[in-house]
Amino acid sequence: MTARPASTAPPAPGATDLGVPAVRPSDQTAPMPLQMAPKRRGKPPKHFADLTSAERVASVEAMGEKPFRAKQLATHYFQHYTSDPEQMTDLPKATREALATTMFPPLIRPTRRLEADGGTTVKTLWHLFDDAKVESVLMRYPNRTTLCVSSQAGCGMACPFCATGQLGLTRNLTTAEILEQVRAAFRSLASGEIPGGPARLNNLVFMGMGEPLANPRAVIETVKTLVAPEPEGFGMSARNITVSTVGLVPAMLKLADLGIPVTLALSLHAPDDDLRSELVPINTRWSVDEALDAARHYFEVTGRRVSIEYALIKDMNDHGWRADLLGEKLNARGRGWVHVNPIPLNPTPGSIWTASDRAVEDEFVARLRGHGIPTTIRDTRGSDIDGACGQLAAEEDDE
Ligand code: SAH
């Protein structure tokens, strides 16, 4: 995602300051360090959405309330999208104040709202309890709605073409901090705030700030609650949830075993280790072949077709031979298990990199299709509001 750099000063080693333009690491500065774990910071307060169903019941009982109050609260939160005690008129007044204050501490606060596409694309900047900042983007299409959420404040993966990659990692989000982004989206769609009449949220992509599989515990708990039937959760369909990763292989294998067939997207960006190690530094830990094997394994276990993301960067990774090599590597692992989403690069401010020319993009797509690989250029909605999430916009529906 795209917190816009605020200064052009080079980063102090390990700094998480905002504001470093993306440059080719070899051009001037030392590459950003990889950060697998965040620095320790205070924890956000526990929230109803952090809890399992059994824990919700235990929590209301611990407050001296009847267990059925947990279901009432869940209905307000997951079906009416509210945590406001004033609206919980089926609870006694004194009770609802106490319950709401304890169970629904404020976790995220909108501080900026940017609109594009006639109000059907909305990016929100959120401040967290410790003033860490994240973004989410809601996109409404004629027949579907998609929310792009952040799973970390900043990101430790240091991809040089990605604005968030230049921020460094501030911290992991909790389950409830992610789910609060989702509740806000359901709420603004249900209330008719987005042009087109009241609607439900259909799709969710973990393509905002952060590397979701570097925060697996919170992301997996979030997914469980997203798919739990109402009122235990939001009742979303697993296939409409996409977890996008740089290729953290062990976490990809764990995700396959979760038994919730979300869609997996692998940010590949190059089919050869030399270039990929520069574009996606974690490649020095898990190579192209290892990441592709893990993606193929994900398909075998879940039956879900995997997406390969490929930001097309002019004269960097957009060569015909790279399209051919990608096609060969994918076909070597079978047919029908994968599709490719080339994404025109959304240049980050100050970056020396730009999107590929249209003709080059077309040739790249044509070569992949020539190998029999389903390939769709990703829509770049929201690029005029400083990109969307991860400077991406929509999850292209592959169904
Ligand atoms: N960390 C995860 C998810 C966040 S980014 C991941 O890397 O997959 C979501 C997608 O946006 C990734 O494929 C990422 O590589 C891509 N992206 C990041 N910066 C971009 C840019 N400037 N232009 C186009 N795509 C970009």
pLDDT tens sequence for the chain (399 residues):
443 333 333 333 333 333 333 344 444 456 778 888 776 678 999 999 999 999 999 999 999 999 999 999 999 999 999 999 999 999 999 899 999 999 999 999 999 999 999 999 999 999 999 999 999 999 999 999 999 999 999 999 999 999 899 889 999 999 999 999 999 999 999 999 999 999 999 999 999 999 999 999 999 999 999 999 999 999 999 999 999 999 999 999 999 999 999 999 999 999 999 999 999 999 999 999 999 999 999 999 999 999 999 999 999 999 999 999 999 999 999 999 999 999 999 988 778 899 999 999 999 999 999 999 999 998 777 666 655 444 433 233 333
User: From the CA of 143, how far away is ligand 1's center (Å)?
Assistant: 25
Distance in angstroms (rounded) separating the CA atoms of residues 263 and 324? 25
Nearest-CA residue for atom 17 of ligand 1: 390
User: From the CA of 341, how far away is ligand 1's center (Å)?
Assistant: 12
Q: Where are the alpha helices (DSSP H) in the chain?
A: 53-62, 68-74, 93-103, 175-190, 216-227, 249-256, 273-279, 288-302, 320-331, 358-370
Distance in angstroms (rounded) separating the CA atoms of residues 345 and 314? 8
Distance in angstroms (rounded) separating the CA atoms of residues 73 and 158? 40
Beta bridge partner(s), residue 313: 355
Indicate the helix (H) or strand (E) that contains 245.
strand 241-245
pTM: 0.90
Regarding the beta carbon of 346 and ligand 1, being less than 6 Å apart is answered: yes
Distance in angstroms (rounded) separating the CA atoms of residues 378 and 369? 15
**Side chain identity at residue 212, one-letter code:** P
Strand ranges of the sheet holding 108-116, from the earlier edge strand across to the other edge: 108-116, 121-128, 133-140, 145-148, 203-206, 241-245, 263-267, 306-312, 338-344
Distance in angstroms (rounded) separating the CA atoms of residues 308 and 361? 16
On whether the CB atoms of residues 33 and 377 are closer than 8 A, the answer is no
* Catalytic residue check, 148: no
Render pLDDT for 37-89 as a digit per residue (tens, 0 to 9).
776 678 999 999 999 999 999 999 999 999 999 999 999 999 999 999 999 99
DSSP 8-state symbol, 253:
H
Distance in angstroms (rounded) separating the CA atoms of residues 178 and 365? 34
Regarding the beta carbon of 215 and ligand 1, being less than 6 Å apart is answered: no
